[in-house]
A and B are shown apart, each in its own frame.
Chain A
Amino acid sequence: MTKGDRMDFGVRDDDQLILDSLTGFAAEQLRPNLRAFEAARGVAPAVSATFGEMGFERLELPEQLGGAGLGMVTRVLTNIALAGADAGAALALDRLGPALYVLAAFGGESALERFAAPMLERPGARAVLIVDHQDRRISAGDRISGRNSWAPTDRADLVVGLGPSSAWVLEGPGRVEPVPGAALHAAGASRVAFEGNLAAAWTDATAAAAALAKVRLYVAALMVGVMEDAAEFSRDYAQGRLAFGQPIAHHQGLAFVIVDMFTAVAQARLLVEDAARRIEAGDDAVQASAAAFVECVEASRFVGPNGVQILGGHGFMRDYPVEKAMRDMRALGLMAGGLHRARDEAASHPDALSEAFAGVA
């Protein structure tokens, strides 16, 4: 490069330290309990406590509020790592979850101080984010009621709503009604009914777009983690399983599927990391985040079923994690407002920059 170019696809040293610590935690505490947490519909309290003690609950909270003040790039890397072990546990452990982005985008630090920090002080408390497709014409103090069909949670101590150009906060427990759930059971599975007077309400289309961009990347990164795990697990299986005198991975029909799975995941990951980079750089990342989410959903619809397919009948059985991965990634794709809305927003910027670089240093 000429002097002054700054191109780097590596991981920052600080992020690497966090990832090393988190990966160790996930390998020791989460992965071995994959099915136990699923059956229990929750993560063991001791594991959750350890996660909090290690500071991971407060990665993105400002330092003034006892957080680490880290940004979107760190978040997507940590979510990928956690979901590689168990996406349901990742959701359960990050008790504030993507609701943080809505509070921060609309209410700034004062909203985080008022709603987020106290919630984290209450053991086991969880925030639930409801992504509405229409704005509710409401103000702080107004009475609100509603119900969502499914959320991967077993508690709703703080309910945060995000509309196309508005947001609201409801304190006090929402009523959670357990449902069978399709996936992500370690985080719980509930219908959330909420009713009460709004603690806060805002209208700001720019803030809504910025918050939703982060919510999408949060979920997209979880999808990447599950996809990476499914691709690697099925690859390893295919190398050990013999058919017709050789590993099934050496039959080109399967080898090419495995290559295409890895390629799909790599592409999705690049888009997620790039969108997170744009957010940290202060660039407009609404289109890029929506596109990254769409790419993750499309990739998951290829990687998930093929991960099961490679294991054949075994893949269909709960003895192996690939059937869970297929369900988890499909369910994740329903979150953050879903695919169609993301595609609408990715496509509504037909002049999205198609330059070979993001900007001039």
Chain B
Amino acid sequence: MELKISPELHEQVLATREWGQTEVRPAGLEADRNAAPLPPEHPYFRKFIDSGRAKARAEGGDAPEGRMLRGVILGEEGAYWDRGMGVASPGAGFPSGAVNAGGTEEQKERFLGMFRDLATPMWASFALTEPGGGSDTAAFKTRAVRTDKGWVLNGAKCFIGNAARAEWILVQATLDPAKGRAGQRSFFVENGMPGLTGMRIEKKMGLRAYESVSFSLEDCEIPAENILGGETRKERAEGTGSSAYGATMASLNTARVGVAASALGVARAALDEARRFASESGSVRHSRVRDQIERVVRKLRAARLATLKAAWLVDQRRGNIIESSMAKIASAEIAQEAGMLGMEIVGLEAGAGDELIEKLFRDAKALNIVEGTGQIQRVIIARQLVGLPR
């Protein structure tokens, strides 16, 4: 095992830290106090673009060596200052990975090109979760039906990040419910398309800095070319799916690793708050408090190692199904625990609701839910370890 980073990456961590301290945390606290995401015209987003961060994100499409490890290290640092603001960042964000991996060249140009040199803040969105199914993606009900003119979508989506402000939403829908996941495809639904309706920004316990949106698709007509990968993609995908490379890629999980990195950042922020209060109040001298802090330091270190290992496996193009789920479980659970402990240590001051730890405590809970709950992660691991039936 070796864990050394270059001075260059260290500089990037320090730059992320400085940006986080001066810009991200104040913006996140503002959104939290307002109990609403910052509006798209908020100066923070302009600063984000002017700082070159949107451009850096857009250029992350390829997979240079060590990209995932780098993403974990910078992701933790970013989330330390505000995990919600990270999700709220302008750019193609989350769906860009799917478009880069599965889109046609024309689609990459048309839907990602607009993000390359952002002049004004813009967002894209990825819509998977439905009101009747979160983790059970195979049971999704949103339907796509081919017509003479293109596709007609009907259904409902919920908890979708940045959807109300997005230029386009990549919507997961099924062509044939009987086929389960195999019958599903993704569709670009553009802002303002008729039938994209009922946008509702949810009121959340935490992570208030970004929009979580519910919306409906009511006979939403989209052009034929808006199906991700084009209409012939399925055949091509099946052709490559049997190759060793395709099989390896299918066993790589990056999204869970990314959320694990975020959880590490939230956990570390909560730990630092807990330690600061314990030190200032003198309660750290009590072994009961001290030992609980020790436990969080230790579990956080183990979770970080697990996350770095899962990322290293991605960069090595090696399977990481078990490792990424273990990292997600460990990171999310320690974030939760650090938040809970911080509340305990800060005490009634935390109960007053204006301390950072109180926000972190609320934020942390989401990380054990998004990108597969802790229970779903255990199901995923159990399928690998003991062949748990689907």
Looking at chain B's contact residues, the main secondary structure is: helix
A291 close to B66 (CB less than 8 A): no
B330 close to A5 (CB less than 8 A): no
Q: In chain A between 255 and 280, which residues have their CB closer than 8 angstroms to a CB of chain B? A: 255-256, 258-260, 262-263, 266-268, 270-271, 273-274, 276-277
Is A46 in the interface zone, CB < 8 Å from B?
A: no
Binds B, one of A203-211, A214-222, A324-332, A342-350: A342-350
The answer, among A255, A276, A277, for a CB contact under 8 Å with B3, is A277
Tell whether A7 pairs with B386 under 8 Å between CB atoms, given A256-B378, A346-B294, A356-B264.
no
Is A354 in the interface zone, CB < 8 Å from B?
A: yes
The total of Cβ contacts below 8 Å across the A-B interface reads 186
**Chain A residues with CB below 8 A from B329, complex form:** 263
The answer, among A294, A351, A359, for a CB contact under 8 Å with B4, is A359
B77 close to A356 (CB less than 8 A): yes
A217 smallest CB distance to B (angstroms): 13
CA distance A9 to B307 in the complex (A): 11
**Chain A residues with CB below 8 A from B389, complex form:** 250
Other than the known A7-B4, A346-B298, what 19 A-B pairs have Cβ atoms closer than 8 Å?
Answer: A1-B9, A7-B308, A9-B313, A10-B1, A239-B387, A250-B387, A252-B379, A255-B385, A263-B330, A267-B302, A267-B306, A268-B302, A270-B306, A271-B302, A274-B1, A343-B291, A347-B294, A356-B308, A360-B4
CA distance A135 to B6 in the complex (A): 43
For B268, give the chain A residue with the smallest CB separation: A354
Is B366 in the interface zone, CB < 8 Å from A?
A: no
Encoded as 1 (CB less than 8 Å from any A CB) or 0, chain B from 281 to 308 comes to 0001001001101100111111111101
Is B221 in the interface zone, CB < 8 Å from A?
A: no
**Chain B residues with CB below 8 A from A64, complex form:** none
* Count of chain B residues with a beta carbon within 8 Å of a chain A beta carbon: 64
B66 close to A2 (CB less than 8 A): yes
CA distance A347 to B293 in the complex (A): 8
A358 close to B309 (CB less than 8 A): no
Q: In chain B between 34 and 91, which residues have their CB closer than 8 angstroms to a CB of chain A? A: 65-67, 69-70, 72-73, 76-77
B330 close to A350 (CB less than 8 A): no
Encoded as 1 (CB less than 8 Å from any A CB) or 0, chain B from 316 to 329 comes to 00000011001001
Q: Residues of B with Cβ closer than 8 Å to A?
A: 1-10, 12-13, 65-67, 69-70, 72-73, 76-77, 264, 268, 271-272, 275, 278-279, 284, 287, 290-291, 293-294, 297-306, 308-309, 312-313, 315, 322-323, 326, 329-330, 375, 378-379, 381-382, 385-389
A360 close to B69 (CB less than 8 A): no
**Chain B residues with CB below 8 A from A235, complex form:** 385-386
- 14 A-B Cβ contacts within 8 A? A4-B6, A5-B9, A7-B3, A239-B387, A258-B386, A263-B329, A277-B2, A350-B275, A350-B278, A350-B297, A354-B272, A354-B301, A358-B4, A359-B5
Tell whether A356 pairs with B76 under 8 Å between CB atoms, given A1-B5, A1-B6.
yes
* Count of chain A residues with a beta carbon within 8 Å of a chain B beta carbon: 51
Q: In chain A between 6 and 34, which residues have their CB closer than 8 angstroms to a CB of chain B? A: 6-10
**Chain B residues with CB below 8 A from A352, complex form:** 297
The answer, among A239, A262, A277, for a CB contact under 8 Å with B1, is A277
CA distance A360 to B4 in the complex (A): 5
**Chain B residues with CB below 8 A from A247, complex form:** 386-387
Q: In chain A between 218 and 256, which residues have their CB closer than 8 angstroms to a CB of chain B? A: 235, 238-239, 247, 249-250, 252, 255-256
The 10 closest A-B CB pairs, nearest first, are A1-B66, A4-B6, A347-B294, A249-B386, A270-B305, A361-B4, A255-B382, A267-B302, A8-B2, A358-B3
A291 close to B386 (CB less than 8 A): no
B314 smallest CB distance to A (angstroms): 12
For B297, give the chain A residue with the smallest CB separation: A352
**Chain A residues with CB below 8 A from B77, complex form:** 356
CA distance A361 to B5 in the complex (A): 5
**Chain B residues with CB below 8 A from A294, complex form:** 294, 298
Tell whether A274 pairs with B326 under 8 Å between CB atoms, given A1-B9, A256-B378, A294-B298.
no
For B272, give the chain A residue with the smallest CB separation: A354
A273 close to B385 (CB less than 8 A): no
A259 close to B1 (CB less than 8 A): no
B2 close to A6 (CB less than 8 A): yes
B382 close to A5 (CB less than 8 A): no
Is A94 in the interface zone, CB < 8 Å from B?
A: no
Is A73 in the interface zone, CB < 8 Å from B?
A: yes
B308 smallest CB distance to A (angstroms): 7
The answer, among A3, A8, A263, A291, for a CB contact under 8 Å with B301, is A291
The answer, among B5, B378, B381, for a CB contact under 8 Å with A357, is B5
Is A171 in the interface zone, CB < 8 Å from B?
A: no
B268 close to A255 (CB less than 8 A): no
B381 close to A2 (CB less than 8 A): no
**Chain A residues with CB below 8 A from B5, complex form:** 1-2, 4-7, 357, 359-361
Is A38 in the interface zone, CB < 8 Å from B?
A: no
B253 smallest CB distance to A (angstroms): 16
**Chain B residues with CB below 8 A from A86, complex form:** none
Is A295 in the interface zone, CB < 8 Å from B?
A: yes
For A292, give the chain B residue with the smallest CB separation: B298
A273 smallest CB distance to B (angstroms): 5
**Chain B residues with CB below 8 A from A288, complex form:** 301
A3 close to B8 (CB less than 8 A): yes
CA distance A354 to B294 in the complex (A): 12
B6 close to A3 (CB less than 8 A): yes
Tell whether A350 pairs with B290 under 8 Å between CB atoms, given A4-B7, A6-B2, A360-B10.
yes
The answer, among B69, B322, B388, for a CB contact under 8 Å with A1, is B69
CA distance A357 to B381 in the complex (A): 27
Tell whether A2 pairs with B386 under 8 Å between CB atoms, given A7-B308, A347-B294.
no
